[in-house]
Each structure stands twice: as structure tokens, then as C-alpha cells.
């Protein structure tokens, strides 16, 4: 009953009275205490939001149509429960994570809006700490420039996902312009602004304990000399029962070829699990290489509440300070060639 009342209030705030009766609310509040240290900085103890999962709140709503079709919406917003930085009375309380309208049926699903892309869902499958402050893959990805980081969400996007075809499924995303939404309405003779379009394709094979995904992404040039980028990404996981193993490899090509890989594992232990990840990159033509690892433990206190503790370390190659722990959150001002570490304990509550 309480969830229904909250959903009705949020739906009313977004002026969706027709769907309000069919809306449901969900979310995560994740808070922790982190000890952070890095070369070139003093050690710091801080309260943080989103240690294991980004804090968020969202609303789903759907309506059944004729011929087995369904229309649905999903609006989801990120929360910073610790108000990182200096809060003011003009602070926006939410950061947008997704605003989606979708039509589904036996033909598959067509969506549009500000969407989670195939890169987002790839990360969810093959990075056990994706969206957290303790993911080596996300910390190391910063300098590699792969769509695995920057392409997780896209504006002005149209997406099509096939229905399941046995163990196979596929999806295509196309952003009609991630840099400038005004191009399509420019008056005759006006000078076009910057506009970059992006296409992503993914195909997944999932059968029993095995899952394999291939992802391809390409963005276009704009009129300011922006260099187009092409990504080829592979990911796989296998559930052995005693442990689930995951791996990823990404190749990102611009004028140079950059690569990024990771290995992860999750081992169940009663009502908890041990997590471990390792990630490294190789970047041609510059000195932004780095590597990192993480070990952690999460304990389910109930179906909706999880306690966790984790340690992450990130090391830069000599001459660079491009990467750090906390999803690259303390890289600025680090000593070149330096390392950083994070020890965190926290609690995550889903609702």
C-alpha cells in the first residue's frame, strides 16, 4: 500500500494521471564509510553514496493494448544521499538515469527517449560491481574511452530489441544526435552546430550456465573535426555452481587502437558471496595505461538489504595519473605513476 501511494505521488508529479493507477515505484539507497588514499593526496575518511550500487528512485508503468501489445514507461533518477560537494538551495535533487517510452509485442520491443543502452546491459552482465564505487573496470576505462563507460546512456535514442529466439537475442540502439538536439530545427541557411550520432548493436547467446555477448558501436564525425570512434566488445560468463566467472575485452579505435580487459568472479557463501575483479588497459600513442583490482564480500541480511565490505586498488603506469579508485573520483592531482586505494563498508537497501 505504501509503495502504491508513493508511486501515485511520483506519477502525479510527472503529470501522468492515466498511468498512475498502474504505476509501481522502486529504488535503492546505498550508503557507506570509505577510507581513501592516493599518492599526492592525504588519506581521507568520508561518507559516500552508492558504494555497491548507485542510489536511485524510479517508476514503472504499463498498459495492455490489443493484439498482445503493451505500452510501458520507465523514469529513473539517481540520488546522491550524501550530497557530495557543497549543497545549495538551488540543487537539483535528481540526476537522470533513464526516461523511456516503449511498445512491445511478439515483434519485440521498440523504445525511445533517454535510454540505457546495450553497453549498460553488457556491463550489468559481465561486471559484478558495475555502477558502484568499487569497479576496477570502470576506473580503468576512463583513459581508454570505450563505449563501456561513455555509452551506457544516450539521449534522443531509438532502440529495437528482438524477442527471444531460443538462446539468442539482439538489440540495436541509434542516437539521432548526442551533442546537439537543435540541428533538425535550424532555419534555412543557419550554421549547423555540433552533432554526433551513435549506433550500437549487440547479440547475446545465453543457454544454461553460459552467456556470451558481442557488442559493436560507432559514432560519427561532426563538423568540428571530432574523430569518429569504433568499438568492438566481447563478454562471457559461466556459472560453475561454486562460482560464476566473467570476462570482458574491448577494442576502441580512433587514430589509435586502445584495448581494455577484465576478469571477475563471484563465489556464493551461504547467504553472502565473495567478489573479485581485475582490469587493465593498453592505450596506443599516450601514457594512460593502468590496472586495478578489487576484493569484497556482501552479506544478504534480507531479500532487500545487503551489507558489504570491499577493498580496491588502482595503479597507474609511469608518467600518467589518469586512473584512480572511486570510479576515477580522486585522479585529479595525483602523482604521475601513482596508485590509490579504497576500503569501504556499507549497507544497501532496495525497495
- C-alpha cell recorded at residue 187: 532555419
What integer pLDDT is reported at residue 191 of this predicted model? 45
Closest CA to 325 of 277, 253, 284, 273: 277
Q: What is the pTM of this model?
A: 0.86
Q: CB within 8 A of 191, min separation 6: which ones?
A: none
Does the residue 188 lie in any domain?
no
The x, y and z cell numbers of residue 215, run together, are 557488442
3-state secondary structure 305-336: EEEEEEEEEEEECCCCCCCCHHHHCCCCCCCC
> How far is the C-alpha of 93 from the C-alpha of 226, rounded, in Å?
33
Tell me how far apart the alpha carbons of residues 193 and 266 are, in angstroms, rounded to a whole number. Answer: 46
Rounded CA-CA distance 276/135 in Å is 10
For residue 182, list its beta bridge partners. none
CATH code of the domain containing 50: 2.40.160.10
Give the single-character DSSP code of 67. Answer: G
- Kindly give the parts of the chain with pLDDT less than 70: 1-21, 84-93, 142-147, 149-150, 178-195, 221-227, 255, 285-287
Domain membership of residue 230 as a residue range: 2-183+193-350
Query: What pairing do the DSSP bridges indicate for beta strands 56-64 and 153-161?
Result: unpaired
Q: Which of 325, 348, 322 is nearest to 81 (CA)?
A: 348
How many other C-beta atoms are found inside a 10 Å radius of the C-beta of residue 163? 12
- Per-residue pLDDT at 196: 73
* pLDDT of res. 327: 84
d(CA 124, CA 144): 19
Question: Which 3 state secondary structure label does DSSP give 131?
Answer: coil
Spatial distance between the Cα atoms of 321 and 90, rounded to a whole number of angstroms? 34
* Spatial distance between the Cα atoms of 145 and 282, rounded to a whole number of angstroms: 11
pLDDT reported for residue 145: 57
Three cell numbers written together for 202 = 549487440
- Does residue 14 belong to any structural domain of this protein? yes
- Report the C-alpha gap between 135 and 54 in whole angstroms: 12
Does 323 reside within a domain? yes
- Give the count of domains, the chain: 1
Amino acid at each position: 500500500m505504501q509503495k502504491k501511494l508513493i508511486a501515485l505521488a511520483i506519477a502525479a508529479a510527472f503529470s501522468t494521471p492515466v498511468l498512475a493507477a498502474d504505476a509501481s515505484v522502486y529504488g535503492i539507497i546505498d550508503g557507506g564509510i570509505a577510507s581513501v588514499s592516493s599518492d599526492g593526496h592525504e588519506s581521507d575518511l568520508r561518507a559516500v553514496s552508492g558504494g555497491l550500487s548507485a542510489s536511485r528512485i524510479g517508476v514503472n508503468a504499463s498498459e495492455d493494448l490489443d493484439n498482445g501489445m503493451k505500452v510501458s514507461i520507465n523514469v529513473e533518477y539517481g540520488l546522491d544521499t550524501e550530497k557530495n560537494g557543497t549543497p545549495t538551495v538551488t540543487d537539483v535533487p535528481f540526476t537522470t538515469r533513464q526516461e523511456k517510452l516503449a511498445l512491445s509485442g511478439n515483434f519485440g520491443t521498440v523504445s525511445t527517449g533517454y535510454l540505457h543502452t546495450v553497453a549498460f546491459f553488457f556491463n550489468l552482465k559481465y561486471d559484478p560491481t558495475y555502477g558502484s564505487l568499487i569497479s576496477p573496470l570502470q576506473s580503468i576505462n576512463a583513459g581508454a574511452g570505450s563505449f563501456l563507460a561513455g555509452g551506457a546512456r544516450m539521449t534522443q535514442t531509438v532502440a529495437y530489441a528482438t524477442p527471444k529466439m531460443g538462446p539468442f537475442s539482439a538489440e540495436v540502439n541509434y542516437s539521432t544526435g548526442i551533442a546537439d538536439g537543435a540541428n533538425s530545427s535550424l532555419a534555412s541557411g543557419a550554421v549547423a552546430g555540433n552533432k554526433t550520432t551513435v549506433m550500437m548493436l549487440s547479440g547475446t547467446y545465453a543457454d544454461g550456465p553460459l552467456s556470451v555477448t558481442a557488442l559493436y558501436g560507432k559514432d560519427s564525425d561532426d563538423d568540428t573535426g571530432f574523430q569518429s570512434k569504433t568499438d568492438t566488445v566481447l563478454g562471457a560468463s559461466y556459472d560453475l555452481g561454486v562460482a560464476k566467472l566473467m570476462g570482458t575485452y574491448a577494442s576502441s579505435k580512433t587514430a589509435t587502437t586502445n584495448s581494455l580487459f577484465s576478469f571477475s568472479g563471484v563465489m556464493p557463501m551461504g547467504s553472502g558471496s565473495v567478489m573479485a575483479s581485475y582490469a587493465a588497459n593498453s592505450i596506443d600513442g599516450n601514457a594512460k595505461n593502468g590496472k586495478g583490482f578489487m576484493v569484497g564480500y556482501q552479506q544478504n541480511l534480507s531479500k532487500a538489504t545487503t551489507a558489504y565490505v570491499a577493498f580496491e586498488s588502482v595503479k597507474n603506469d609511469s608518467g600518467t595519473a589518469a586512473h584512480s579508485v572511486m570510479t576515477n573520483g580522486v585522479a585529479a592531482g595525483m602523482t604521475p605513476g601513482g596508485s590509490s586505494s579504497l576500503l569501504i563498508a556499507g549497507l544497501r537497501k532496495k525497495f
